[in-house]
Amino acid sequence: MTNPTHSRKQEEELRKQEGRMPPGQSLARRLPILHYGAIPAFDPATWNFRVWGEIEEPITLSWEEFQKLPRTTLQMDVHCVTRWSKLDTVWEGVAVKTLLECGLFKLRPTARFVLQHAEMGYTTNLPLEIVLADNFLLATHFEGQPLTPEHGAPLRGIVGAIPNQPNLKTPYFWKGAKWLRGLEFLSEDNPGFWEQAGYHNEGNIWKEQRTARS
């Protein structure tokens, strides 16, 4: 946890020594607000969440139905491609692996990738193994409070690093989409918005895979 008696630089150096700061990152005390485009409006009466693609039957959930799903709380370090890192962040939401365990949908054997679909046509892609891992969440809350519109309310994908779980693959923060509206399961990879614009397709934080040329 952050020590309030330390300066940011002292805290940053300590976390580097612990192996929690990837190369090229700086410690952030607050969660910065970064996104492309305008903030979409949220109407709980019309909002829905879809899951489709390489699954047995597509599903659509209303906001009321989504709120009744089993909840998970995760504490993770998140690392942005723009070179800031926020440690010990706490998120609450729904784990995709929990939805599978509950039988909400069933994957086909051909499912290997997941494309997150957000408002205004934004997308980002991940391998299935990351979406089903312990460090990926469909988040509705941050630090005990509902997400604000600026941070992706009512729902966003979240992926981060869990200290002491080094085997978990961790991509940069953009690989979790704000204002999330659906998951498309794919047999072949399909690069998303920033990936098509030149960001690295995998975005591994420890390898500094920031751009396609990394």
Give the bridge partners for 137, in sequence order: 158
Give the bridge partners for 126, in sequence order: 114
Residue type, 94: V
Provide the terminal-to-terminal Cα distance of the chain, rounded to the nearest Å: 31
Residue type, 67: Q
Strand 48-53 to 180-186 pairing: parallel
User: What is the value of pTM for the model shown?
Assistant: 0.93
| Token reading at 22 | 């990837």
Residue type, 167: N
What's the rounded Cα separation, in Å, for the pair 199 and 81? 9
Which sign does the torsion angle of CA 66, 67, 70, 76 carry?
positive
Half-sphere exposure of 67 (CA within 13 A, CB side): 9
Q: How many Cβ atoms are within 10 Å of 94's Cβ, its own excluded?
A: 22
pLDDT, mean of each 10-residue run, the chain (214 residues): 65 87 92 79 97 98 97 97 96 97 96 97 97 98 96 97 93 97 98 96 97 80
What's the confidence (pLDDT) of residue 30? 86
Domains and CATH numbers, the chain: 43-196 (3.90.420.10)
Residue 28, burial from CB neighbour count under 10 angstroms (0-12, 13-18, 19+): middle
Q: For residue 201, what are the contacts with CB-CB under 8 A and spacing of at least 6?
A: 125, 189, 191, 195, 212
